Amino acid sequence: MGMQSKNTASIEDKRAEEKEVVSKMIAIYCRGHKHTTVGLCQDCQGLLDYARQRVDRCPFMETKTFCSTCRVHCYEQSMRTRIREVMRYSGPWMLLYHPILTIRHLIEEQRAKKRQTERGTMP
Ligand code: SF4
Ligand SMILES: [Zn+2]
């Protein structure tokens, strides 16, 4: 795929950004629920490790952008439930704590959704 080689650098950027966003969201969630006083509690660390591993293995990063716009969603059910809860809780705080990262992410998400709609066939 020509597109793949052309976009290799940006695919890795996307992976890195996806992981950064998810790690910040889990941190807000863990802190907000006072799970622990330093870093992440064991459960949240486990969720973060899982999320990072999914993104590393994601076959769709080159064509679509973020997990939030993914129609496949490769998370196993229990992890999916947990990450959804994190997103719901931390989403509103992200703009406040990490405005630039969040706005960039939202713009990228919109672009990805648009591409998916145009293509009509993406997962
Ligand atoms: S949820 Fe979708 S975009 Fe996210 S890692 Fe899994 S397959 Fe990739
Ligand atoms: Zn926690």
Domain enclosing residue 56, as ranges: 2-119
Domain count, the chain: 1
For 80-103, what is each residue's pLDDT tens digit?
A: 999 999 999 999 999 999 999 999
Q: Token pair of 77, please?
A: 């059910």
| 43 within 8 A of 78, measured Cβ to Cβ | no
- Report the run of H or E that residue 75 belongs to, with start and end: none
113: left (phi over 0), alpha (psi -120 to 50) or beta: alpha
pLDDT digits (tens, 9 = 90+) for 41-83: 999 999 999 999 999 999 887 776 678 778 788 999 999 999 9
pTM: 0.85
**Residue 67 three-state SS:** helix
What separation in Å is there between the alpha carbon of 104 and the centre of ligand 1?
A: 19
Q: Count the neighbouring beta carbons within 10 Å of the beta carbon of residue 28.
A: 20
Q: In testing the pocket of ligand 1, which one of 58, 61, 82, 116 has its CB within 8 Å of the most ligand atoms?
A: 58
